[in-house]
Chains A and B, each alone.
Chain A
Amino acid sequence: MGLLDGKKALVTGARKGIGRGIAVTLAREGADVGVNDIVDDAATRQTAKMVSDLGRKSSVHVADVSKLSEINRIVDAFAKQHGGIDILVNNAIFPDQSRPFFDTDEAYWDRMMDLSLKGYFFAAQAAARHMVKQGRGGRIVSLSSVHAYRAWKNWTAYGVAKAGLKRMAKGMAVDLAGTGITVNCIAPGAINNALTEKGIDPAPYDLSKNPGLKSAVPSQRGGLPSDIANTVVYLCSEMGDYVNGETILVDGGMIASGGDM
């Protein structure tokens, strides 16, 4: 018996890394899982297979979740295919997340905000509409970041988007008062997102090869997708029913120590 038996969960950006870790861990706890990513490749299919290998229903939803029309298409398709949606995890991001301040042009800004802030908002809204109609509550989790708490050089656009999500969780908690839907964020620290051949966790970052990271992380290890996925499970289960509008840092103490590298 799992903590999420019978739940239907859609995870964006789930072809690898944290997204894959979340999708597979939710499935391990009994959820049926929809795997979204922008590309339908071997990695995307592998995540879906890892879900179905656990005996859960899996579905693949290829979409660019920075576009409202595609967000609505896959949320509706997921709900139709699975008979509803109980959990949405906003996790999608593109690889080039940092950019020097004066090189941050309008195109880059819009791309960052369209995916990470606007896209997360409208995906959450679409999911919440279904959840309110279903009348049995729900869980919305968005991936924020340590970059929401302090600046590192060249990360302003990303940090602004991730900080906005903290405020979005509070706003949605209030706007959805009385619906039984909780809305929260998780803020990861330095997590190894590499594509895995087996399982969900790559080797943690070798701190001896990353002296800056070693001094910045009191827990003295790199983070892993399972660190984030376990927190998602907590929030999405009965156990997390009274956590709402909150952002949980999962960073090994990086922000507590200032994160100086």
Chain B
Amino acid sequence: MDLLKGKKALITGSRRGIGREVAIAFAENGADVGINDVEKDAEAEKALAAVKKLGRKASWHKADIGDPRQRERMFDDFLKAHGRIDILVNNAVKTKWTPFLELEEDDWDFQVGHALKGYVFCSKRAANEMVKQGGGGRIISVSSVHSFRAWPRDTIYGIVKAGLNRMATSMAVDLAGTGITSNCIAPGYIDSRVLPAAQEKNRGGKGYADHAIPWIPMRRGGVPRDIANMALFLASDLSSYVNGETILVDGGLLAGGTPD
């Protein structure tokens, strides 16, 4: 499929897991990709290699999206490498589960300053470049089922993810007429563990989230490709009328209840 032919896409937190699978799906569909993460480890090398193997250009961008200087330099370097930006996928995240009664301000600053503030200002930079370019664009943020309901100890994570949903709606309004769409994907249980190759076929299956399977109508854990497929849909011309929306990709988990 060639849904993203000629597009230039930056994906934060893409050395492994969902981010990497998004990069691969985009490259399969004709996009050149910027891989961002906080360290260039073996997983990062795998991501870069996978994109290049598909005949697409891959650039590496080491940056913590919560740090303004690193963030801006990431965009500067991406633009230098690719000439423009068509798609931004906000995916990098740092999580810390803390009971409400034990919350520290550091917990707040750590998570909110990273994923919520980081996504807003990454999106702002990308949108400004897209407006300058004049050809529209796509900004996609990875939210979560936690944005819709609570599980124990998820106060800050839930606030961050709910905030991203609300960010997308404001972006739709403030970017009216620019041809840029802003949307979120809300994953449920997604098996994004680093697995040995032999266990790849079991991803999302037995041993991943056995306690949750009875509550997931599709009777399987999600896999990164489920999210990457939605990202592909939202990045492509198929979805040019989807704007300001958050779409659940959870196998039906939130349709009913969960055991946790």
Counting CB contacts under 8 A, is B192 at the interface? no
Minimum CB–CB distance from B57 to chain A (whole Å) comes to 25
Q: A174-B217, A227-B240, A253-B173 are in contact. List 17 more A-B contacts (CB 8 A).
A: A169-B255, A174-B255, A180-B218, A189-B241, A217-B176, A220-B176, A227-B241, A239-B230, A242-B249, A243-B230, A244-B250, A245-B217, A245-B248, A249-B245, A253-B244, A257-B172, A257-B244
Q: Do the beta carbons of B218 and A218 come within 8 Å of each other? A: no
- Contact indicator per residue, chain B 225-257, by CB within 8 Å of chain A (1) or not (0): 010011011000011111111011111101110
Docked Cα-Cα span, A176 to B181, in Å, equals 33
Counting CB contacts under 8 A, is A79 at the interface? no
B residues adjacent to A (C-beta < 8 A): 168-170, 172-173, 175-177, 181, 188, 216-219, 222, 226, 229-230, 232-233, 238-245, 247-252, 254-256
Docked Cα-Cα span, A230 to B175, in Å, equals 23
Known: A169-B255, A170-B255. A248 touches B219 (CB 8 A): no
Docked Cα-Cα span, A217 to B242, in Å, equals 11
8 residue pairs from A and B, CB less than 8 Å apart: A173-B256, A177-B217, A217-B176, A218-B244, A219-B241, A244-B250, A245-B255, A253-B169
Question: Within the complex, which residue of B169, B217, B226, B241 is in contact with A173, where a contact is CB–CB below 8 Å?
Answer: B217
Interface centre among A169, A218, A239, A242 (most CB of B within 10 A): A242
Known: A176-B217, A180-B218, A242-B250. A256 touches B169 (CB 8 A): yes
Question: Within the complex, which residue of B218, B230, B241, B256 is in contact with A250, where a contact is CB–CB below 8 Å?
Answer: B241
Minimum CB–CB distance from B101 to chain A (whole Å) comes to 33
Counting CB contacts under 8 A, is A70 at the interface? no
Docked Cα-Cα span, A177 to B251, in Å, equals 10
Contacts of B229 in A (CB 8 A): 238-240
Counting CB contacts under 8 A, is A241 at the interface? yes
Interface centre among A178, A221, A241 (most CB of B within 10 A): A241
Size band of the interface chain A makes with B: 35 or more
Q: Do the beta carbons of A248 and B177 come within 8 Å of each other? A: no
Minimum CB–CB distance from A247 to chain B (whole Å) comes to 9
Counting CB contacts under 8 A, is A109 at the interface? no
How many A-B residue pairs have C-beta atoms within 8 angstroms? Tell me: 126
Q: Do the beta carbons of B243 and A218 come within 8 Å of each other? A: yes
Interface centre among B242, B249, B251 (most CB of A within 10 A): B242
Counting CB contacts under 8 A, is A231 at the interface? yes
- Contact indicator per residue, chain A 2-36, by CB within 8 Å of chain B (1) or not (0): 00000000000000000000000000000000000
In the complex formed, the residue of B with least CB distance to A180 is: B218
Q: Do the beta carbons of B226 and A241 come within 8 Å of each other? A: yes
Known: A176-B217, A244-B252. A219 touches B181 (CB 8 A): yes
Q: Do the beta carbons of B242 and A248 come within 8 Å of each other? A: yes
Docked Cα-Cα span, A250 to B112, in Å, equals 30
Minimum CB–CB distance from A124 to chain B (whole Å) comes to 14
Known: A177-B219, A230-B238, A234-B233. A220 touches B177 (CB 8 A): yes
Known: A173-B255, A249-B242. A256 touches B168 (CB 8 A): yes
Counting CB contacts under 8 A, is A251 at the interface? yes
In the complex formed, the residue of A with least CB distance to B222 is: A242
Minimum CB–CB distance from B144 to chain A (whole Å) comes to 14
Q: Do the beta carbons of A248 and B238 come within 8 Å of each other? A: no
Contacts of B173 in A (CB 8 A): 218, 253, 256-257
Contacts of B240 in A (CB 8 A): 219, 227
Q: Do the beta carbons of A245 and B241 come within 8 Å of each other? A: no
Docked Cα-Cα span, A211 to B222, in Å, equals 43
Minimum CB–CB distance from B182 to chain A (whole Å) comes to 8
Minimum CB–CB distance from B163 to chain A (whole Å) comes to 15
In the complex formed, the residue of A with least CB distance to B214 is: A177
Counting CB contacts under 8 A, is A110 at the interface? no
Counting CB contacts under 8 A, is A144 at the interface? no
Contacts of A256 in B (CB 8 A): 168-170, 172-173, 243-245
In the complex formed, the residue of A with least CB distance to B189 is: A242
Known: A242-B222, A244-B251. A231 touches B172 (CB 8 A): no
Docked Cα-Cα span, A218 to B229, in Å, equals 25
Q: Do the beta carbons of A245 and B254 come within 8 Å of each other? A: yes
Q: Do the beta carbons of B252 and A245 come within 8 Å of each other? A: yes
Contacts of B254 in A (CB 8 A): 245
Q: Do the beta carbons of B176 and A257 come within 8 Å of each other? A: yes
Docked Cα-Cα span, A241 to B227, in Å, equals 10
Q: Do the beta carbons of A243 and B247 come within 8 Å of each other? A: yes
In the complex, chain A residues 166-216 whose Cβ is within 8 Å of any chain B Cβ: 169-171, 173-174, 176-178, 180, 182, 189
Counting CB contacts under 8 A, is A255 at the interface? yes
Docked Cα-Cα span, A256 to B177, in Å, equals 14
Contacts of A231 in B (CB 8 A): 238-239, 242
